[in-house]
Structure 1
Amino acid sequence: MLGVVLMVVGLVVPVARGIWLEVPSSGTKCVSEELHSKVVVLADYFVVGDEHHINNTIVPTISVKVTSPYGNNLYHQENVTHGQFAFTTTESGNYLACFWIDNSHKGDRGMSVGLDWKTGIAAKDWDSVAKKEKIEGLELELQKLEGAVEAIHDNLIYLKDREADMREVSEKTNARVAWLSIMSLGVCVVVSIFQLLYLKRYFQKKKLI
């Protein structure tokens, strides 16, 4: 039963992912994830050397930059082949991680970069927790499950708040569109009246009516 519950939680809360990125020889390759505030993020990245790079005995280096939804710089490294970054989100929105090949290694070939991106309970060091609290087996799995349930609860609250914000924006937009439509209709009516008065005077002067 516990295994089934853990599997369901894993399907509901995708908190870890392994990504292979094809970084072009020129330009930038970015990945993003929408996160709410107070979420722990832990990521490892590494350059995957292909046969061409191995034969040249030179592993090209990359630059990495991670930014928050408001453009704050959370992590920036240059001339590296691997590394790790970790942070706790303070803003809700899309967090962006960008990779590009350093100028000294640019050529006609791109490269592959492996990215192990973990958030929430997946970023937690459960081995340290188990040693510190002296728990193992079923008790440890239950604690993981508790963390997963809390993550689901936080996500639901975040989605509910976001839905309320989007509904408020939609209602304001609809109200503005309605007022604009009324104003446009009023302008059309006024212009039509002036046109009728002008035509009436014109025909009266010409003694056509």
Structure 2
Amino acid sequence: MSKSNLLMITTLGLIFTIAESMRFDLQSGHTKCISEDIMNNAVTVGKYNVVNPNEGYPLPVSHKLTVRVASPYGNNYHHRVNVDSGNFAFTAAEAGDYTTCFSAADHEPETKLAIEFEWKTGVAAKDWSKIAKKEKVEVMELELKKLLDAVKSIHEEMNYLRGRYGSIYFY
């Protein structure tokens, strides 16, 4: 594989992993964790909620979640108990795998919760519409700022990977 192909694959991989949005099921009494490798000083935002908790019966306590976001060294960035939705935002103080864990209370009979979860990091975490309103910039200027921020993020990620893996070279 040529260096240009490796660069293209790495760049596409970085662009497509900036934001993650998913929907998953969680059985009552169980925990599911999702991790994301985040660079130092990267802005991160997340949003989660229980989907259709009232299907077939009123909202019991069992449709509440405990959510915890932790750094690679175990520092808590977000911790909520008995919630059905929430948001979090932080700037990573250390590089590595950040983990978001969802726990559902034990319930008889066992219940399945559908959870929507969106996790954005880096360029995707910025609210570009507010920046445009605040600075009253032209549409083209806003697009150029997005592209410049994306290029900077990709460059920082490449340097991070180079430092972490050593044998990968980016030109």
Coarse TM-score class (shorter-chain normalised): 0.7 to 0.9
TM-score (norm: length of structure 1): 0.69
Counterpart of 1:21? 24
Q: CA deviation at 1:138?
A: 1.5
Please give the secondary structure, in 1, of the residue aligned with 2:117.
Answer: strand
Q: 1: distance between equivalents of 2:52 and 2:30?
A: 19
- Structure 1 10/107 Cα, relative in aligned 2: closer, same or farther at 3 Å? farther
1:79 and 2:82 are equivalent in the alignment: yes
| Aligned match for 2:144, one of 142, 159, 168 | 142
Percentage of matched positions with identical amino acids: 39
Contact 2:23 2:114 in 1 (8 A): yes
1:109 and 2:97 are equivalent in the alignment: no
Q: 2: distance between equivalents of 1:128 and 1:106?
A: 46
Aligned counterparts, 1:56-75, within 5 A: 56-58=57-59, 60-75=63-78
The structure with the greater share of residues assigned to helix is 1
- Structure 1 41/106 Cα, relative in aligned 2: closer, same or farther at 3 Å? farther
TM-score (norm: length of structure 2): 0.83
Q: 2: distance between equivalents of 1:28 and 1:136?
A: 46
User: For structure 1, which runs of at least 5 residues remain unmatched after alignment?
Assistant: 1-8, 168-209
Q: CA deviation at 1:132?
A: 1.8
Q: 1: distance between equivalents of 2:120 and 2:12?
A: 13
Counterpart of 2:161? 159
Q: How many residues align?
A: 155
Contact 1:21 1:29 in 2 (8 A): no
In the TM superposition, what whole-angstrom CA distance separates every residue of 1:107-164 from its partner, at most 9, and x where no partner exists?
4122111001111111111111111221132111111000000000000010011013
Q: CA deviation at 1:54?
A: 2.3
Counterpart of 2:97? 94
User: For structure 2, which runs of at least 5 residues remain unmatched after alignment?
Assistant: 1-10
Contact 1:78 1:102 in 2 (8 A): no
Q: 1: distance between equivalents of 2:138 and 2:35?
A: 35
Q: CA deviation at 1:106?
A: 5.9
Moved more, 109-118 or 9-18: 9-18
Counterpart of 1:123? 125
Larger RCO, structure (CA 8 Å, separation 6 or more): 2
Q: Which has the higher Rg, Structure 1 or Structure 2?
A: 1
Q: 1: distance between equivalents of 2:110 and 2:98?
A: 30
Query: Aligned AA for 1:163?
Result: Y
Please give the secondary structure, in 2, of the residue aligned with 1:32.
Answer: strand
- Structure 1 137/25 Cα, relative in aligned 2: closer, same or farther at 3 Å? same
Query: Aligned AA for 1:110?
Result: K
Runs of 4+ in 1 over 2 A off after TM superposition: 9-12
Contact 1:63 1:101 in 2 (8 A): yes
Q: CA deviation at 1:38?
A: 0.5
Query: Aligned AA for 2:143?
Result: E
Query: Aligned AA for 1:133?
Result: E
